[in-house]
Structure 1
Amino acid sequence: MKKKLVIHQTDTIRRKVYNHLREQILRGEYEPHERLFETRISEEIGVSRTPIREALHNLELEGLIECLPKVGYVVKPISEEEVAEICELRGLVEALAARWASEKARDKLVAELQKNIAASEKKLEQGAARAFVELDAQFHEIIARLSGSKRLLELAQTLRHHMLRYRIQSIYATYNVFRAIEGHKGILAAIKNGDKDEIELAIRTHLEQSKKDILRYALKEDENLAARKSSNQSNS
C-alpha cells in the first residue's frame, strides 16, 4: 500500500500531489506499464481526485507516464532511446561541471569525492546496494555543486532525476555497484590529473556503463513482466 500524503495548510495541494507522485514514479514504487487509477491513488494518499487528475496530466507532459486509449494512464516503460539521450546529455553537462569544479575548487572537490567513494565502498562491503543509490547521486551532485554554476547544477539535477527511475532499480545488483564505484574512481583520478580530455572520457565511460546496466535490467524486467502477465492470464 502506498503511504498517505501529509499536506499542511501552508502547502499547495496540487504541487504536493504532483511532487509526491513524481517521486514515487522516479523511485520505482510504480513499475513500468503499471496503470494509475485516480480513485485508487485518491484513497491511498488521502486527497480528492481533482489534484490527482492535474498531477497525472503534468506527469504525462513531463514524459513519465502516458495515456493509452481504452486503458488510461500507465507508467512509461524504459526507452532505450531516452536512456541513451539522457546519458549523452549528462556526459556533456557533467564533463563541463567537472572541468569548472576542478578549476575553481580542486582540493575541495577531490576531498569530497574521496570521502564519498570511501563511504560507497563501505556500503558495498556491507552488501547495502540500496543505500548506494543515494551516495551515487551525491557523487555527481558534488561535482555539479562545486562547478559554481547554479544553472549547470539545475541541469545536472534535472537529468539525474530523469535517470533515477531507471538507475535505482539496476543498481541493486552488487556487481553494478562495484562497477559504478570503479567508474567514480576513474573520474576522481582524471580530476586529480587535471586533464580536461581525460575527465570527459572518464565521465562518458562511466555513464556508458550505467546505460548498459540499465538496459540490461530493463530487458530482463520486461521479460519477467511478460511472463507474469502470461501466467496470470493462464490462471484466470
Structure 2
Amino acid sequence: MRRLVIKNPKTIRGKVYDYLREKLLSGEIPPHEHLIEAKIAMEIGTSRTPVREALHNLEFEGLIESIPRVGYIVKPISEEEVGEICEIRATIEGLAASWAMGKAQEKLVAELGKNISISEDRVSKGEVRAFVDMDAQFHEIISKHSGSQRLLELAQTLRRHMLRYRIQSIYTVDNVLRAIEGHKGVLRAIEKQDLEKVHQAIRHHMEQSKKDILRYAFKEAPEERK
C-alpha cells in the first residue's frame, strides 16, 4: 500500500477514508483481507485515530465487517446479497418513480434526459469510470423527485451496499453501455407516463445489473452455470 500524503491536518480523517474506500472499491484490497488498524496507520503515515474512524464509516457503508476478537475484514462478495439488494431496489425505485411522476413529471424527464446525455458523452470520450457517479445520480434523481426523504434515504442506503459489487462490473464498457440502455428504457416509460412499463423497465434494469455483477464476480451468470 503506497504512502498517503496528507498536507492539511484538518482533512486527515476524510483523506484516509477516501483512500481506503478507493482501495476497497477497486479491489486492490481483496475480499476476506484482514484490516489491521496499526498497520494501515503506519503504511499511510498517520495516527490510528483517523484510521479507526475511517474503518467505522466503511463498516457503515457495508464495505467491511467487524468480527469479535478478529477485527475488520473486507466483506466477501455474496451472490445472495446481490440478488436481495437488486430485488429490493427494484421495488423501492419503482415506488419512487410512481411518486415522482405524480409530483414533478417535467423536471424528472428533463433531468434524467440530461443525465443520460452526459453519460453517453463521457463514455464516448473514454471516461468509463465517470459513469459510476452518473449512474448514482440517475437513480438519485428519481428518489429525490419522489418527495419522500425516507424513500430517498432508503434508496441511498441500498445503493451504498450495492456499490461494492457494482463498482468493478461498471468499469467495463459493455456493462456501462447496457446500463445506459437500461436508463433509457426507464426514461421512455416515464415519458409515456405508463406506470406498469416504468416498473417493468426498472426491474429489467436491475436484473441486468445483477447479471453483470455476478458475471464479473463469478465469471458467469447463475443461469449460465452448469
Sort the TM-score into its range (normalised by shorter chain): 0.7 to 0.9
> Partner letter of residue 118 of structure 1?
S
Q: Which residue of 1 aligns with 2:139?
A: 140
Change (3 A) 1:146 1:70: closer
**Aligned partners of 2:4 and 2:45 also within 8 Å:** no
Change (3 A) 1:103 1:24: same
Q: Where do 5+ consecutive residues of structure 1 fail to align?
A: 222-236
Map 1:169-208 → 2, pairs under 5 A: 169-208=168-207
Following the alignment from structure 2 to structure 1, what is the Cα–Cα distance between the partners of residues 219 and 68? 27
Tell me the SS of whatever aligns to 1:194: coil
Deviation string 1:116-149 (CA, Å, 9 cap, x unpaired) is: 1111111222222111111111111111111111
Following the alignment from structure 2 to structure 1, what is the Cα–Cα distance between the partners of residues 202 and 16? 32
> Partner letter of residue 108 of structure 2?
L
Identity %: 61
Q: Which residue of 2 aligns with 1:126?
A: 125
**Aligned partners of 2:12 and 2:50 also within 8 Å:** no
For normalisation by structure 1, the TM-score amounts to 0.79
Change (3 A) 1:4 1:18: closer
Tell me the SS of whatever aligns to 2:34: coil
> Partner letter of residue 25 of structure 2?
R
Following the alignment from structure 2 to structure 1, what is the Cα–Cα distance between the partners of residues 83 and 31? 18
Map 1:26-65 → 2, pairs under 5 A: 27-28=25-26, 30-50=29-49, 52-53=51-52, 56=55, 59=58, 63-65=62-64
Map 1:94-109 → 2, pairs under 5 A: 94-109=93-108
Change (3 A) 1:19 1:154: farther
**Aligned partners of 1:34 and 1:74 also within 8 Å:** yes
Shift of 1:154: 0.8
Q: Which residue of 2 aligns with 1:3?
A: 4
Deviation string 1:134-180 (CA, Å, 9 cap, x unpaired) is: 11111111111111111111111111111111111101111101100
Following the alignment from structure 2 to structure 1, what is the Cα–Cα distance between the partners of residues 60 and 135? 28
> Partner letter of residue 21 of structure 2?
E
For normalisation by structure 2, the TM-score amounts to 0.82
Following the alignment from structure 2 to structure 1, what is the Cα–Cα distance between the partners of residues 150 and 165? 24
Following the alignment from structure 2 to structure 1, what is the Cα–Cα distance between the partners of residues 199 and 46? 46
Change (3 A) 1:220 1:63: same
**Aligned partners of 1:24 and 1:30 also within 8 Å:** no
Shift of 1:195: 1.7
Tell me the SS of whatever aligns to 2:219: helix
Aligned-residue Cα RMSD (Å) equals 2.9
Q: Where do 5+ consecutive residues of structure 2 fail to align?
A: 221-226
Following the alignment from structure 1 to structure 2, what is the Cα–Cα distance between the partners of residues 219 and 70? 30
Tell me the SS of whatever aligns to 2:117: helix
**Aligned partners of 1:17 and 1:51 also within 8 Å:** no
Tell me the SS of whatever aligns to 1:74: strand
Following the alignment from structure 1 to structure 2, what is the Cα–Cα distance between the partners of residues 140 and 159? 11
**Aligned partners of 2:179 and 2:209 also within 8 Å:** yes
Following the alignment from structure 2 to structure 1, what is the Cα–Cα distance between the partners of residues 198 and 34? 42
**Aligned partners of 2:25 and 2:167 also within 8 Å:** yes
Count of matched residue pairs: 217
